[in-house]
Amino acid sequence: MAARARSIATSFYMMRKNARFFFTALPLALACAPLPAPTTATAREFGLLGTATAGAGVRLTPADERWVESTLTALTLREKVGQLIMPWVGGDYAAVGSPEFEQVREWVENDRVGGLVMSIGLPLSYAAKLNEFQKRAKVPLLIASDMENGPGMRMGNIYALPSMLPQGGGTTFPPVMALGATGSDELAFNLGQVLGREARAVGVHMAFGPVLDVNSNPLNPIINTRSFGEDPALVSRLGRAYIRGARSAGLLTTAKHFPGHGDTDVDSHVDLPTIRADRAHLDAVDLPPFRAAVAEGIDAIMTAHIAVVGVEGDTAGPATLSPRFMTGLLRDEMKFTGLLFTDAMTMGGVARRYGATEPLIRAVEAGADVLLMPRNVTTAIETVVGAVASGRIRESRIDESVRRILSSKAQAGLTRGRLVDLNAVGTIVSIPAHTRVAQDVAERSITLALDGLSLVPLSRDTARRILALTYAEDSDLIAGRAFDPIIESRFPRTQMVRADGRTTASEYAALASRAASADIIVVSAYVSPKEYKGSIGAEEGFSRFIEQLAVRKKPIVVISFGSPYLLGAFPSVSSYMIAWGGSPVSQRAAAMALLGQRAITGRLPISIPPALAIGAGITRPASGSPVR
């Protein structure tokens, strides 16, 4: 096990074929104090300075309205359907003429797609790539990205292998449940503002966020810390502040995942989750944040591939394909007039049950404006064109969606310019003012849920023998990289060990012997929601090991760098602290809190059955001198 702990894991998540030299960890989110205005180095022609007030709820100018109508009139049926399609594109470097570049060029020039969904990459790669594709587009492209909890979610946490040198990127925040732990509208606003400034600087016009799911199910395998919390009022309040902050920087926002993914126990990337709640429950718990977002003027809403059987019966299909939810509830009842996105059309929650093409037609029939990430772009366009030709879908129905898409492009300022200034990226993305915001969120979110033996903060006796155990997936190469050195600097006799899903019973037995001779055990657990995993929890051997130590009354502090519900795996633990995410900013905040260098003020935005209610949390003032 010691050799394994010292070795660099060989398995890691590959986003693209040519991304084999990079590792990317899960991202995170949020914000803090007044921020400086965007640099005026960004040229007006690049559509940033002129769009600071564009976005949700902004009426189009007469000139923009004329542009929308004249552009719509000039499009052929196939081009109009192309506007409904947004394929996935990596944010990595791709040389002009490379296979990766040529694929996207064909989508833009030949299929005339309406926009692109950008994935993991670096800021300058984003900006350069998007400028190139915008130049080639007949109609300006609407660019979106899943930066739901900050720009670092897609432009950060990238490391070169094997050196593990950080490659920089956008400002990385903790997950938004950390923001829920602060309860601060100001921080939510500042997150949105930082996100807006950095996204617009690299050519992204719309964030697929905020997540407005109310995480009422501790077993939810995919939402978890992506939610602000389990209180609909808190989620609504922080969501509205996030939207206002993004709008102040000219960024369009998307509320997701309608009608609420918080009470599911199946990952919709894998299969179709079901919601048993009836309409009264939805109105009380799941729908209030979306109603609040509509009242705030949210630009778009993304629907979820979930079957609401409590409303539509046991034969219910995904809400994405449901006219009752997409049109009846959102358009007619809630009076939402913005863009309506499907979730990715390749996800198991829809594709496994309905195939690759039929869901595209059904989604448009139900009321969707944008078909997100279809399996094959050309086939998707031809499928919808064929449905119009056969009379199944009216062309006027396509026009309704295209008009909304073009209006969103005008709101994003794309009638005034579609390129970004590459020279300005370094003056906006991840500047110190933005990283201080992320640091403030991380520090103010640290939550001490339990401390029965008053172990936190740790005693200042530097002679104490600490056993620091990191539990993480073998592919998580940054787990402990920021936290461990800070602890070791205070306690030189610290022993660092690591466990993962491969750790054997005999290795845990050896660990138990080492734990017996330690004065205190600090356990760092990096367990977070991941797509296609299907569950969120620790491996049984690890959970049993920690519980056995706790039962024996061994002084032990468990820190969750991810799911707060991990406490259920070892309920006898007396000291339990939550950092919400595993990025370096959260690791540093947790270490400083554990050593007494920062006050602990966070409160649980969720309950942890059976012992901890929402709002629980122990306050600790800052106590020691700074760690050098």
Q: Which residues are catalytic?
A: 269, 343
Q: Which residue has the tokens 């899943």?
A: 146
Nearest to 357 by CA among 344, 372, 376: 376
Token duo for residue 375: 């399996």
What's the N-to-C CA distance of the chain in angstroms?
31
Residue with tokens 């009836």: 278
d(CA 443, CA 160): 27
Cα 425 to Cα 202: distance, rounded to the nearest angstrom = 7
> Which residues, 6+ apart, have CB-to-CB distance to 210 below 8 Å?
148, 176, 192, 228, 238, 239, 242, 243, 253, 255, 256, 293
> Taking a C-beta distance cutoff of 8 angstroms, is the pair 307, 319 a contact?
yes
Beta bridge partners of 160: 22, 165
Cis peptide upstream of residue 257 (ω within 30 degrees of 0): yes
Give the SS3 label for residue 138: coil
Overall residue count recorded for the chain in this entry? 628
Tokens of 89: 């594109």
Q: Is 293 helix (H, G, I), strand (E, B) or coil?
A: helix
3-state secondary structure of 555: coil
CB contact set of 565 (below 8 Å; sequence gap of 6+): 218, 219, 224, 536, 606, 608
Nearest to 187 by CA among 486, 438, 475, 454: 438
* Largest interatomic CA distance in the chain: 79
Question: Can you list the positions of beta strands (E) in 362-515?
Answer: 371-372, 447-451, 466-471, 495-499
Judged by DSSP in three states, 496 sits in: strand
Measure the CA–CA gap between 472 and 190, rounded to whole angstroms.
Answer: 31
Is residue 603 within 8 A of residue 181, CB to CB? The reply is yes
Q: How far apart are CA 607 and CA 215, in angstroms?
A: 10
367 residue type, one letter: G
CA-closest candidate to residue 171, choices 188, 149, 152: 152
Q: What distance in Å separates the CA atoms of residue 552 and residue 333, rounded to the nearest whole number?
A: 57
Smallest CA-to-CA distance from 341 within 398, 259, 262, 256 is with: 256
Count CA within 13 A, CB hemisphere, residue 569.
21
Task: State the number of CA atoms in the 13 A half-sphere of 538 facing the CB.
Answer: 30
**Phi and psi angles of residue 120, each rounded to the nearest 5 degrees, phi first:** -70, 135
Q: Are 259 and 307 in contact (CB under 8 A)?
A: no
Of 527, 525, 493, 499, nearest to 512 by C-alpha is: 499
**Phi, then psi, of 69 in degrees rounded to 5:** -70, -40
